[in-house]
Amino acid sequence: MGSRFNPYDNNGGTCVAIAGVDYCVVAADMRMSTGYNILTRNYSKICQLAEKSILASSGFQADVKALQKNLSARHLIYQHQHNKQMSCPAMAQLLSNTLYYKRFFPYYAFNVLGGLDSEGKGCVFTYDAVGSYERVGYSAQGTGSSLIIPVLDNQLKSPSPLLLPAKDAVTPLSEGEAIDLVKDVFASATERDIYTGDQLEVVVMNASGIRREYVSLRKD
């Protein structure tokens, strides 16, 4: 009786990104859920789109996968045409345009794009489902975002992103301190958010390249 096909599902999860002076940390949990069930404890929400751009997306993972594939293909075309990789701000604009393209049947994806800008400084861009975006010093998206953001506001010692004019909100924390903070906030979010947990994937990008770390989280 009157239940139309619902094209969307929320697979839960949380994504965080923090921009530092010369690094960027992008982290996401690895739990994929549907309803009150867990589909897998080992699903990566993080995708490296270009040399200096990493996308983390929570929401409906089928849409996320399609979005990632779309952007990767567009990046390949860009490389053929321009003989170089896309910069992170360029990728940010491309993501925004791609999302808005489906304004009337959106990608159910809550994105956080992290990377290094052309000066080597960390940059983080945060999005809504239809492409509205902003460069910020740090961001969280997903089911645990409301638990995480206030802690980052308090602990990152960045100028408040809510101030106007928008100040360059890169955190003065060191890379190690930022990573420790990320692990802590995810541990906290895991406590109260049922959709966040199992494992944490942390990707760190700096001048020397990219490295990946996995941290165990509560599995309940």
Partner 1 sequence: MFRNQYDTDVTTWSPAGRLFQVEYAMEAVKQGSAAVGLRSKTHVVLATVNKAASDLSSHQRKIFKIDDHVGVAIAGLTADGRVLSRYLRNECINHSFVYESPLPVGRLVVRLADKAQVCTQRSWKRPYGVGLLVAGLDEQGAHLYYNCPSGNYFEYQAFAIGSRSQAAKTFLERRFDKLDDYSAEQLVKDALFAIKETLQGEKLTASICTVAILGVGDAFRVIPESAVQQLVDALDDAQPRADEPDDEPDDALPAEQPEEDRPPHPDEAAAPAPMDI
Instruction: Give the binding site for partner 1 (CB under 8 A).
Output: 69, 73, 76-77, 80
Angle at alpha carbon of residue 161, lines to 61 and 45, rounded to 5°: 15
| Min CB(62)–partner 1 separation in Å | 15
List, in sequence order, the alpha helices (H) in 52-166: 61-82, 88-101, 145-155
Closest listed residue to residue 17, CA positions, set 216, 208, 218, 204: 204
Q: Between residues 76 and 166, which has the closer beta carbon with respect to partner 1?
A: 76
Q: Between residues 37 and 81, which has the closer beta carbon with respect to partner 1?
A: 81
Q: Between residues 41 and 74, which has the closer beta carbon with respect to partner 1?
A: 74
What is the Cα–Cα distance from 89 to 158, expressed in whole angstroms? 21
The residues that bridge with 15 in the sheet, in sequence order, are 28, 141
| Min CB(196)–partner 1 separation in Å | 29
Element (H, E) at 182: helix 175-192
| Min CB(78)–partner 1 separation in Å | 11
| Min CB(125)–partner 1 separation in Å | 24
Q: Between residues 69 and 212, which has the closer beta carbon with respect to partner 1?
A: 69
What is the Cα–Cα distance from 120 to 207, expressed in whole angstroms? 7
